[in-house]
Amino acid sequence: MDFKIIVMENKNYTRVPKQERSRETKQSILKAGLELFSEKSYYKTNSKEISKRAGVSIGSFYMYFPDKKELFKELLIEYHKQIRAVLENIEIESYVNSGKRRDFLNYLINKLIEAHYIYPEFHQEINVMALTDSDFIKVNEKSKAESIEVTKTLLHIWKDQLRIKDIEAAAIVVQTSIEEIVHVLIFSKHKAKNKKIIDECTDMLSRYLFED
Amino acid sequence: MDFKIIVMENKNYTRVPKQERSRETKQSILKAGLELFSEKSYYKTNSKEISKRAGVSIGSFYMYFPDKKELFKELLIEYHKQIRAVLENIEIESYVNSGKRRDFLNYLINKLIEAHYIYPEFHQEINVMALTDSDFIKVNEKSKAESIEVTKTLLHIWKDQLRIKDIEAAAIVVQTSIEEIVHVLIFSKHKAKNKKIIDECTDMLSRYLFED
Amino acid sequence: MDFKIIVMENKNYTRVPKQERSRETKQSILKAGLELFSEKSYYKTNSKEISKRAGVSIGSFYMYFPDKKELFKELLIEYHKQIRAVLENIEIESYVNSGKRRDFLNYLINKLIEAHYIYPEFHQEINVMALTDSDFIKVNEKSKAESIEVTKTLLHIWKDQLRIKDIEAAAIVVQTSIEEIVHVLIFSKHKAKNKKIIDECTDMLSRYLFED
Amino acid sequence: MDFKIIVMENKNYTRVPKQERSRETKQSILKAGLELFSEKSYYKTNSKEISKRAGVSIGSFYMYFPDKKELFKELLIEYHKQIRAVLENIEIESYVNSGKRRDFLNYLINKLIEAHYIYPEFHQEINVMALTDSDFIKVNEKSKAESIEVTKTLLHIWKDQLRIKDIEAAAIVVQTSIEEIVHVLIFSKHKAKNKKIIDECTDMLSRYLFED
DNA sequence: GATGAATGAGTCTTCATTCAT
DNA sequence: CATGAATGAAGACTCATTCAT
């Protein structure tokens, strides 16, 4: 899924392959769900509204999703997929040997912000649901564990230069700090401050992880 | 509010002073609300259930609270009051001049954990509601701002010994990191790891804030 | 439950005991359900309509019955209770020794007609549901088995005068025949014929069971 | 209609005559409807499911039947046609003059059981629908009246040997008794008892109709 | 003819809130 | 003050039927 709307540019071409149309409909429901869950939260959004926003009937909604929860679940999975995609595109090579550890940390934080920016409000909503519904807790815990694992891997690359002893605990501290600061930055109203905060965060992590 | 149930010790007095009885009833509703919101979230708890758990009628519920939301609001305010109380009881004096900055940070984190432990699940639920309902967003933002303010004040005490320049940004980074790590610790399943994580966090903040 | 409507004769008397009112509401729903299920069948009756007929809100409906099915179940149980009551009031004594076996059979058939007349259409509907919903099949089978048991007991009374050998099989044949003929009579449009049919049925059973 | 699936034996002919194909499609829908209505009742079967079982699209379903009800109606008519066919094949001649009246009754009951065995569950479902939907009540009443008419005709054959006076009423009693006992036998779980029950029924009718 | 995606009226059911007692 | 029966708007979900392809 990509969250872009596929705008039909040519209404003259009559025949849209059935499968295509079908995919489109599902897309539009996913998109509407993403928007509304983000705007007003899961509990304040009802299926009628999602359908309306998607420009389809309620019947269609239930053709593609057995229930509202399932729609959320699909969005959740998609969301994590995208975050993962960003993390997997991180270019470590140029930093790892050049000793530009601080630059790397900066780059990492910015990448993560970018990843979460896809749909910041949905990020919130995910947290909400993850806390509310046992079905989502697992998905979220798994996702968090994976993030910590990625962090651990990254730390291992600088293994020899680290001043910290317990990589496991450090990974948790680092990952948690970054994640939450990214969160703050995304919702910050004073975007001006953001650069400063990123710099401080970079400084903090740099001092923590490495001997100067 | 304290969340303990006030057990009537004197059954002889048939007439309990109305104000007393009234306060009790309200207490029991608050307690029931706190418990249920924490256990099953705001949206999955209904007023009938709260009344039942509180041992009062639904009618009583609506005598003391204009609606369900107001009950949550009062709990929210009470919750922040308690966190504040913990913070206000922090004893800085013994640390500030002794140079035991690292010990202080450790003490601070432990104090915050203690503060949040009052009702960890409710802490979650607050986050949920804060994101869901615009009425609570303000309460929460205000609370966060105050926490950062407190952090700033604390940093000012060590003013001369700090290596950081931008106290404003540092306060945000420090407060956010601590808050979230506390969060992780509270819900951590591997309590064994917790001490290590606290130590790493202390180390990180210490290195960040102070020159060795 | 009795299916009579309790008409409030005196609206001036303000206080209707709560329990009384509550029972009344439930009564009116049961009555409405009985009527509508009989008139239009279970599947064509919806909860809104039942509530409307009962003069209460849908909310009330669901206060007293978890769902439509449960309402039907309660009516079913009540129905069988009433049939049983009629059977238990049968006066055998006056017939058994006088040798008026034929009169007794006649009396029995008439009693059963009376019993089923309480709500003939509901009798139909019971058959419908008993065939449609596995939950009701048991109730119905049990009820039928009990009827055959009663028939067997009756046959035992005339033990010495019976020409039949297999009382078990005879009880099934007799009970089934009566039941179905009663059914026919109830729905018969030519009430004039009914007496004749009862007489023929009596004759048939009499000849079958007893030596002349 | 016969309920057997017509397996296409000749795959060489790519083009199956349209009428043939068309009839086949309709057959498969009828078959699927019969099965599903019998298995789960009319109201719990939906058109999508019928189409699926029939291996055709919903669109096809609605090409052959204006609505779900019409499908049931066709099955109903077909069902009665088959019962009729069995009755019409009854061989009276060999019995009527030989005086084997009892054997004939036995044969008749067995024939009727055979007739209803075509799809016993559907027999049930017919009763359900006949009571539920006014459209089917007529079909059913007509069918019942015809059965009584056939019974009357049969009784007339033995006219001179009958001990009963009112053939009309007797026909009702006989037909109703047989019909219902057949019903009991079909759904009986204790098949062992069935022979005994048939014998008792034969005995009952024989004693009732004829002087020994 | 065939297809099956799309429709939306109609059901069941919940629950915050009121108000007569 | 206390009670809890009653309310009904609102939401989740189904399914017979249509119609563009």
| Proximity of residue C57 CB to strand F below 7 A | yes
Does the pLDDT of residue D119 top 80, yes or no?
no
* Strand F at less than 7 A from CB of C62: yes
Q: Is D141 on the interface with C (CB under 8 A)?
A: no
According to DSSP, the residues that pair with B210 across neighbouring strands are B162
Of B164, B123, B172, whose CA–CA distance to B146 is shortest? B172
Could you give the residue range(s) of every CATH 1.10.357.10 domain in chain D?
Answer: 69-209
Per-range mean pLDDT, top range of A45-49, A152-156, C139-143: A45-49
- On the question of pLDDT at A2 being above 50, the answer is no
Percent residues over pLDDT 90 in chain D: 30
Residue C74: both structure tokens together: 């309660």
CB A150 within 8 A of CB B162: no
List of D residues 43-82 with CB within 7 A of strand F: 44-48, 58-59, 61-62, 67-69
- Interface residue D85 vs chain C (CB under 8 A): no
For residue D185, pLDDT over 90 is answered with no
- Residue C179: the pLDDT is 85
Q: Where are the alpha helices (DSSP H) in chain B?
A: 18-40, 47-54, 58-64, 68-88, 93-96, 101-116, 120-132, 134-157, 167-187, 191-209
Strand E footprint nucleotides (protein C-beta < 7 Å): 1-21
Question: Which residues, in sequence order, are CB contacts of C210 under 8 Å at separation 6+?
Answer: C101, C158, C161, C162, C163
Among chain B residues, CA nearest to A165: B200
Average pLDDT for residues A174-190, to the nearest whole number?
A: 84
Angle at A42 (CA atoms; ends A38, A43), nearest 5 degrees: 140
Question: Which residues of chain B form CATH 1.10.357.10?
Answer: 68-209
Q: pLDDT band at A81, cuts 50/70/90?
A: confident
Confidence check: pLDDT of A119 > 70: yes
Whether the CB of D194 is less than 7 Å away from nucleic strand E comes out as no
Q: Any contact of C with D, at least 3 CB pairs below 8 A?
A: yes
Cα separation, A118 vs A84, in Å, equals 12
Residue A54 pLDDT > 60, yes or no?
A: yes
For residue D169, give the nearest of C41, C172, C200 by CB distance.
C200
Helices (H), chain D: 18-40, 47-54, 58-64, 68-88, 93-96, 101-116, 120-132, 134-157, 167-187, 191-209
Q: Which of residues 23-62 of A touch strand E (CB under 7 A)?
A: 24-25, 56-60, 62
CA of C203 to C1' of F14 (A): 53
Which part of chain B is CATH 1.10.10.60?
1-65
Does the CB of C20 fall within 7 Å of any strand E atom?
no
Mean pLDDT, chain C, rounded, equals: 83
Output D136 or C171, whichever has higher pLDDT: C171
Chain A hits for B169, CB-CB cut-off 8 Å, are 193, 196-197, 199-200
**Dist CA C27 CA C3 (whole Å):** 8
Query: How far apart (Å, rounded) are the C-alpha atoms in residues A135 and A139?
Result: 8
Q: How open is the CA angle D42-D44-D46, to the nearest 5 degrees?
A: 80
pLDDT-based confidence at residue C18 (cuts at 50, 70, 90): low
Which stretches within A89-133 are classed as H helix?
A: 93-96, 101-116, 120-132
CB contact under 8 A, C127 and D127: yes
CB-based contact B42:B73 (threshold 8 Å): no
Q: What is the pLDDT of residue C10?
A: 42
The two three-digit tokens of residue B106, written as one number? 């450790």
Please answer yes or no on whether C204 and D43 come within 8 Å at the CB atom.
no
CATH dotted code for C69-209? 1.10.357.10
User: Which chain A residue's Cα is nearest to B192?
Assistant: A169
DSSP state of C130: H
DSSP string, A28-61: HHHHHHHHHHHHH-STT--HHHHHHHHTS-HHHH
Instruction: Judge whether D144 and D171 are in contact, CB under 8 Å.
Output: no
Asked whether the beta carbons of residue B207 and residue A203 sit closer than 8 angstroms, the reply is no
For the residues A96-104, what does the mean pLDDT come to?
A: 82
Give the Cα separation of A86 and A79 in Å (integer): 11
Strand F and C47 CB separated by under 7 Å: no
**What fold is seen in the domain A72-209?**
Tetracycline Repressor; domain 2 (1.10.357)
Structure tokens of B2? 């304290």
In chain A, ranges of CATH 1.10.10.60 domains: 18-64
Both tokens assigned to C40 = 């239009």
Distance CA C70, CA B53 (A): 27
d(CA D7, CA C158) in angstroms, rounded, equals 59
> Which nucleotide shows the minimum CA-to-C1' distance to residue A62?
F13
**To 5 degrees, how large is the angle CA A90–CA A94–CA A97?**
120
What pLDDT shows up at residue B9? 39
Q: Which residue of B has its CA nearest to A42?
A: B132
Residue D183 in tokens: 């019903």
Q: Which residues contact C72 (CB under 8 A, 6 or more apart)?
A: C33, C37, C42, C129, C136
**List of residues 6+ apart from C103 with CB closer than 8 A:** C95
- A22: nt with nearest C1' to CA: E5
Touching subunits for chain B (3+ Cβ pairs under 8 A): A
Whether D205 has its CB under 8 Å from any CB of chain C: the answer is: yes
List the single residue in C with minimal CA-CA distance to D127. C128
Name the CATH superfamily housing domain C18-64: Homeodomain-like (1.10.10.60)
Determine the CATH number of domain D1-65: 1.10.10.60
Helix, strand, coil percent values for chain C (each to nearest 5): 75, 0, 25
**Average pLDDT value for residue range C171-192:** 85
Higher per-residue confidence, A184 vs B96? A184
Q: What is the pLDDT of residue D17?
A: 53
Is the model's pLDDT at B7 over the cut of 60? no
Mean pLDDT of A84-103: 82
Please determine, for residue A197, whether its predicted confidence score (pLDDT) is greater than 70: yes
Give dist(CA C31, CA C37) in Å, integer.
10
Neighbouring residues of B201: CB distance < 8 A, sequence distance ≥ 6: A173, B109, B177, B178, B181
Q: Considering only CB atoms, which chain C residues are within 8 Å of D130?
A: none
Task: Tell me how far apart the alpha carbons of residues A49 and A33 are, in angstroms, rounded to a whole number.
Answer: 9
pLDDT at B10: 41
Cα(D88)–Cα(D149) distance, integer angstroms: 13
Distances (CA, A) of D143 to C16, D14, D150, D168, D192: 53, 43, 11, 17, 31
What is the nearest CA distance from B82 to chain A, expressed in angstroms? Answer: 22
Q: Which two tokens stand for residue D101?
A: 């009246």
Cβ of residue C171 closer than 8 Å to a chain D Cβ: no
Q: Which residues pair with C162 in a beta bridge?
A: C210
Residue-level pLDDT at D50:
96
pLDDT at position B93, please?
80
Is residue D41 within 8 angstroms of chain C, CB to CB?
yes
Kindly tell me if the per-residue pLDDT of C16 is higher than 90: no
The C1' atom of F16 and the CA atom of D46 lie apart, in whole Å, by: 8
Q: Please provide the average confidence, as pLDDT, over all residues in chain B.
A: 83
Looking up tokens 């207490």, which residue turns up? Answer: B27
Q: CA B23, C1' F12: Å apart?
A: 39
Please name which of B132, B176, B144 lies closest in space to residue A121, comparing C-alpha atoms: B132
For residues A37 and A122, the answer to whether their CB atoms sit within 8 Å is yes
Architecture of domain B68-209: Orthogonal Bundle (1.10)
Phi and psi torsions of D162, nearest 5°: -80, 140
Q: Measured between alpha carbons, how far apart are the two ends of chain B, in Å?
A: 43
How big is the CA angle at B129 (ends B126 and B133), to the nearest 5 degrees? 145
Between CA D126 and C1' E4 the distance (Å) reads: 31
Of C125, C166, C179, the CB nearest to D196: C166
Question: Between helices C191-209 and D167-187, what is the axis angle to 10°?
Answer: 70
pLDDT band at A16 (very low <50, low <70, confident <90, very high): low
CB C29 within 8 A of CB C64: yes
- D162 forms bridges with which residues in the sheet? D210
Highest mean pLDDT among B10-24, C42-56, D70-84, D136-150: C42-56
Helix (H) or strand (E) holding A141: helix A134-157
Facing B166 at nearest CB: one of A164, A177, A196: A196
Whether C132 sits inside 8 A of D44 (CB atoms) is yes
Q: Which residues pair with A210 in a beta bridge?
A: A162
What residues pair up with D210 in beta bridges, in sequence order?
Answer: D162
Rounded CA–C1' distance between A129 and F13, in angstroms: 22
Domain with CATH 1.10.357.10 in chain A: 72-209
Categorise residue D99: left if φ over 0, alpha if ψ from -120 to 50, beta otherwise. left
Kindly give, in sequence order, each residue whose CB lies less than 8 Å from that of residue A119, ignoring residues fewer than 6 positions away.
A3, A34, A38, A79
Whether chain B has a CB inside 8 Å of the CB on A108: the answer is: no
CB pairs < 8 Å spanning A and B: 101
Q: Angle, nearest 10°, between helix axes B68-88 and B47-54?
A: 60
Q: Are C37 and C79 in contact (CB under 8 A)?
A: no
Residue from A128, A133, A164 to probe the interface with B (highest B Cβ count within 10 Å): A128
Task: Please determine, for residue C84, whether its predicted confidence score (pLDDT) is greater than 50.
Answer: yes
Long-range contacts, stretch B92-95, CB < 8 angstroms, 24+ apart: B92/B154, B92/B157
Report pLDDT for D134.
75
Interchain contact, C193 vs D172, CB within 8 Å:
yes
Phi-psi region of B112 (alpha: psi -120 to 50; beta: other; left: phi over 0): alpha
Tell me which of A35-39, A139-143, D71-75 is least confident. A139-143
Protein-covered nucleotides of chain F (CB closer than 7 Å) are: 1-21
User: What is the DSSP secondary-structure string of B72-117?
Assistant: HHHHHHHHHHHHHHHHHT---HHHHTTT-HHHHHHHHHHHHHHHHT
